[in-house]
A and B are shown apart, each in its own frame.
Chain A
Amino acid sequence: MDKKTLKELANNLMFDMKEEEYETLSKEFEFLLKEMDKISEFEGIKDVEPLFHPFEIKTSLREDEAKNFITTEEALLNVKEKIGNEIKVPKVVGE
């Protein structure tokens, strides 16, 4: 796995890493992909249905009723920069 691809993946996830961290990751990928190659060669793997959840469960949705969960003050409690009831960020559009 080349560094360019890894950096592109990191940047798409909105972060960057140090040079040596990309090297560690590249080695990890080398191993993981080798192991996944072995999995691809499992007999009959193509016909197996993927399992996304441990077992079948009956899910149910809540009644569509409005509930007071958190207040505006609570929603803004952990925000670092705010003006009144709004979150402050740099301008997104120009003057």
Chain B
Amino acid sequence: MNIEEFRKKIDENGIKEVFNESVKISKERQKDVNAFVTIMDSFEKSSSLSKISNIPYALKDNFSTKGILTTASSNMLKDYIPVYDSTVYKKLKESGAILLGKTTLDELAMGGTGTTGHTGIVRNPIDTTRSISGSSSGSAAAVRMGVCPFAIGSDTGDSVRKPASYAGIVGFKPTYGRISRFGLFAFASSLDTVGIMATSVKDVAIVTDILKGKDENDMTSLDNDDEIYENLIEKDVKGLKLAYIEEICDEDNNKEIFNKIITSCETLGMTVEKVNMDKKLLEAVFAAYRTISCAETTSNNANLSGILFGPRAKGSTPDEIIFNSRTEGFSELIKRRFIMGSYVLRRENQEKLYLNACKIRRLIVDKTNEIFNKYDAIILPTTKDIAPKLEQEKEIINDKFSVLENHLDIANFGGYPSITIPSFEKDGMPLGVSIMCNIKKDALTLNIAHKLFEKLRGEENV
């Protein structure tokens, strides 16, 4: 259900009944999906006239909400009650949206499988034997379950877009800085972006219009662009030039589906051309992303000590308390990532590891910018295939990686707006297609995505 359909339901049945029904379904599905860390038991009716007034939504549990448990799905924060509101939550409250619950994520937003949160695995609501990926796992699941028309996530590599794709919904990562990160628990600050998930591009545009804007509490937030995205999504896309990267598409398990999407783009009057990128450079994205993100997260999470907040372990000195709290509080995955980050930042390793990763970032971004000099957008399959079975999901860095499974990181390297929309189904599971535009072209990204989304909805499955 989209925002308009929720609004209609509220008009017919009242807010209380709609909210209670969403709470009931959310609770019932905790057993098999586990989308939420916290499900709210009350709400305040709003008199706001905004488009999302009194509409329920879900918020990833790494956004600070004053007085409401916020765990980042980590044992280290399992009882943490924030004392201030994130800008995102504050703006949603001011717009009258109703918080339905805080959603499960991979611990500290650092995984990509939905299996590492401290309250257990998040399962794909479409088929609970399958993964929904992560880290915004619960937010994607909540929208897919139909308990709210939109949800908020965070995207450092693909954490909004990949779960959205596996859930068959829309997931949007705007330009870096378009939405304030104030109150979002930092993972890797140069890559972190607030993202929106919904059942339609139009709803994503409505919510982005509310959330975007300069925030004095986030010095990296962008100046207002004075555009109303919702009003721009219907623009004619005829004549726009799209490109797809051959080396990435070569790995697609569903080429016939991608070809059909290209045909749909052409029917809308856009051109789609093949471009090439050095395969070695694309392969380097995997290691460069891990190196940069681990380096940034190691320092960002140094404040989790058990002294100021979080469970405090026993110890006879303050150092012992911190050591034992961190040993008991973090899961294995988090510790491995912190160690990697610490290693690549060591003075003797910085040049070869951390700085080289940042140089690869530059080369990738320069090459992508070259494409944007000639094309309006890059279109690619979001993932190699449908959501995998849960037993196939492993949070271990090894040589079984593909450039297609990692291309979404490029949008975070360069801060580009990137969106995934559902395309066709395979074996009853959704596939997504992603569209990425140059920085600050959020309106164009949403415009192309909306037109294609509407077109694909009217087409027969492959």
Please list the residues of chain A having a beta carbon within 8 angstroms of any beta carbon in chain B: 6, 9-18, 21, 24-25, 27-29, 31-33, 35-36, 38-40, 42, 45, 48-55, 57-62, 69-70, 74-75, 77-81, 87, 89-90, 92
Decide yes or no: A49 and B359 within 8 Å by CB, A24-B336, A54-B439, A55-B414 being known contacts.
yes
Whole-angstrom CA separation of A9 from B338 in the bound complex: 9
Decide yes or no: A52 and B190 within 8 Å by CB, A17-B335, A31-B397 being known contacts.
yes
A28 B397 Cβ-Cβ under 8 A: yes
Q: Which residues of B contact A32 (CB under 8 A)?
A: 287, 290-291, 340, 397
Whole-angstrom CA separation of A10 from B336 in the bound complex: 9
B356 within 8 A of A: yes
Known: A6-B339, A90-B321. 8 other contacts (CB 8 A): A15-B338, A38-B280, A50-B358, A50-B359, A54-B413, A55-B176, A59-B219, A79-B308
Whole-angstrom CA separation of A69 from B176 in the bound complex: 26
B14 within 8 A of A: no
- Residue among B191, B340, B343, B353 with the highest chain A CB neighbour number at 10 A: B343
Q: Which residues of B contact A6 (CB under 8 A)?
A: 339
Q: Which residues of A contact B378 (CB under 8 A)?
A: none
Stretch binding the partner chain, chosen from B33-41, B310-318, B380-388: B310-318
A54 B412 Cβ-Cβ under 8 A: yes
| Smallest beta-carbon distance A15→chain B, Å | 4
Pick from B284, B319, B323, B361: contact of A51, CB below 8 A: B361
Decide yes or no: A9 and B343 within 8 Å by CB, A50-B362, A89-B321, A90-B321 being known contacts.
yes
- Residue among B84, B291, B335, B353 with the highest chain A CB neighbour number at 10 A: B335
Decide yes or no: A40 and B415 within 8 Å by CB, A50-B359, A59-B220 being known contacts.
no
- A61: nearest chain-B partner, CB-CB: B219
B332 A87 Cβ-Cβ under 8 A: no
Interface size on B, residues (CB 8 A): 74
Pick from B310, B343, B414: contact of A54, CB below 8 A: B414
- Residue among A6, A62, A78 with the highest chain B CB neighbour number at 10 A: A78
Whole-angstrom CA separation of A39 from B310 in the bound complex: 39
| Smallest beta-carbon distance B136→chain A, Å | 20
- A62: nearest chain-B partner, CB-CB: B216
B312 A16 Cβ-Cβ under 8 A: no
Whole-angstrom CA separation of A91 from B15 in the bound complex: 54
- Residue among A12, A38, A55, A59 with the highest chain B CB neighbour number at 10 A: A55
| Smallest beta-carbon distance B320→chain A, Å | 8
- Shortest beta-carbon contacts, A-B, top 4: A54-B415, A50-B358, A78-B309, A35-B287
- A37: nearest chain-B partner, CB-CB: B352
A9 B339 Cβ-Cβ under 8 A: yes
Whole-angstrom CA separation of A87 from B309 in the bound complex: 11
B322 within 8 A of A: yes
Whole-angstrom CA separation of A45 from B355 in the bound complex: 10
A50 B326 Cβ-Cβ under 8 A: no
Q: Which residues of A contact B338 (CB under 8 A)?
A: 13, 15
B210 within 8 A of A: no
A39 B287 Cβ-Cβ under 8 A: yes
Whole-angstrom CA separation of A77 from B79 in the bound complex: 11
B227 within 8 A of A: no
Pick from B216, B318, B330, B413: contact of A89, CB below 8 A: B318
Q: Which residues of B contact A42 (CB under 8 A)?
A: 280-281, 284, 359-360, 363
Q: Which residues of B contact A59 (CB under 8 A)?
A: 219-220
Whole-angstrom CA separation of A57 from B305 in the bound complex: 33
B326 A77 Cβ-Cβ under 8 A: no
B81 within 8 A of A: yes
- A5: nearest chain-B partner, CB-CB: B343
Whole-angstrom CA separation of A62 from B221 in the bound complex: 13
Q: Which residues of B contact A17 (CB under 8 A)?
A: 327, 332, 335-336
Whole-angstrom CA separation of A25 from B343 in the bound complex: 12
| Smallest beta-carbon distance A30→chain B, Å | 9
Whole-angstrom CA separation of A21 from B283 in the bound complex: 27
B112 within 8 A of A: no
Decide yes or no: A36 and B355 within 8 Å by CB, A17-B335, A24-B396, A28-B336 being known contacts.
no
B308 A87 Cβ-Cβ under 8 A: yes
B355 A50 Cβ-Cβ under 8 A: yes
Q: Which residues of B contact A18 (CB under 8 A)?
A: 332
B72 within 8 A of A: no
Whole-angstrom CA separation of A60 from B177 in the bound complex: 13
* 20 contacts across the A-B interface (CB closer than 8 A): A13-B335, A15-B326, A17-B332, A25-B336, A25-B339, A28-B397, A32-B397, A33-B353, A36-B356, A39-B288, A39-B360, A42-B281, A51-B413, A53-B220, A54-B416, A59-B219, A78-B309, A87-B307, A89-B307, A90-B318
